[in-house]
Structure 1
Amino acid sequence: MIRARVVSVLRRRDDRGTATAFVVGMAITLLAVAGLVVDGGNALNARMKLADDTEQAARAGAQQIDELALRENDVVQLDQAAAQQAASGFIARFGYNNAGVNVTADEVTVGASDRVNTVLLSLVGVRSFEVNAVATAEAVTQ
């Protein structure tokens, strides 16, 4: 009888600590998901702001129409120096990385990038996101 009791005690599994391991695993998973939501949302907002700013800079450049060519020849074309200066000045106010402006006879293209630092994902090694945007505006008179 004593032997049966010893065998019974030895056969029992020790489940102590199983719930703790489960709770720790779930906490890490929930923290990663929260990081994706919070930091991903911040990155999307930064991308939208960057896109808006590049669009506005391109429009500022595209408004610099060569009035002499328009009046004399009825041709819509840009004053390229003024367009370059207007677009570059507009986008420079925001301090974006790698901001660039390209001006042709009738279009202004502005591109820029920015880095968004993470809050929660930095706990798992993702320190920042890079966001980029390019916008083009065409010179028109209507």
Structure 2
Amino acid sequence: MTRALRSQERPPGTVRRGMALPIVLLIPIAVMFWGITADGGNNNVYREEARDTATQAARAGADEIDLDYLRTTGIVRLDPAAAETAAAAWIAATGHTGTVAATVDSVTATVTIDQPLSLLALTGRESVDVTVAAAAAPRTGVTEPGDLGGT
């Protein structure tokens, strides 16, 4: 017999076990890596949705200008109560939760989205909260060429 054939011969009754342990260890590691990749990608989607909602809510609040003050002084400022109401209504319309704070100068909206986990739920955690804040200020119209709007 040739040397290659002799090296493959085994005594009767022996079993080849060389790959069982690495495969058993590799499968859970691969599943965890897949879970981190999938849920991490979903996290980016939920974060962008929260950012969009917070930005739009802040902008909706920044539209609530105190018109009486503007007419008497010529200065643009927000009506904080109306701004908070408008921003909170925008957040509520999206079905998300959040908080709103407004001053005469700006509106800040914070939105929280509960992101369900798919594969990482196997670790015992069903979801994670994604929270993003955005602010906006009232803008006036164009006042000179090249101006995109000022305060």
Q: Same fold (TM over 0.5)?
A: yes
Once the two structures are TM-superposed, the CA of residue 15 in structure 1 deviates from its matched residue by 7.4
Q: Deviations along 1:81-112, whole A, 9 cap, x unmatched?
A: 22121111000112323x11111012111112
Q: Which residue does the alignment assign to 2:48?
A: 48
Q: Which residue does the alignment assign to 1:76?
A: 76
Residues 125 and 70 of structure 1: is their aligned pair in 2 closer, same or farther, counting only changes over 3 Å?
A: same
1:109 equivalent in alignment to 2:104: no
What 5-or-longer segments of structure 2 have no aligned partner?
Answer: 1-9, 142-151
1:1-142, aligned counterparts within 5 Å? 16-97=16-97, 99-142=98-141
**Distance of 2:17 and 2:77 partners within structure 1:** 75
SS of aligned partner of 1:93 = helix
Normalising by the residue count of structure 2, what TM-score does the alignment of the two structures yield?
0.78
Q: Which residue does the alignment assign to 1:4?
A: none
**Distance of 2:34 and 2:111 partners within structure 1:** 28
SS of aligned partner of 2:140 = coil
**Distance of 1:72 and 1:92 partners within structure 2:** 34
**Distance of 1:58 and 1:15 partners within structure 2:** 68
**Distance of 2:48 and 2:25 partners within structure 1:** 34
SS of aligned partner of 2:65 = coil
Aligned residues: 129
Identity %: 35
**Distance of 1:53 and 1:103 partners within structure 2:** 16
SS of aligned partner of 1:17 = coil
**Distance of 2:26 and 2:115 partners within structure 1:** 27
| Aligned-residue RMSD, C-alpha | 1.8
AA aligned to 1:77 is R
Q: Deviations along 1:60-94, whole A, 9 cap, x unmatched?
A: 00011112222221111112222121111000112
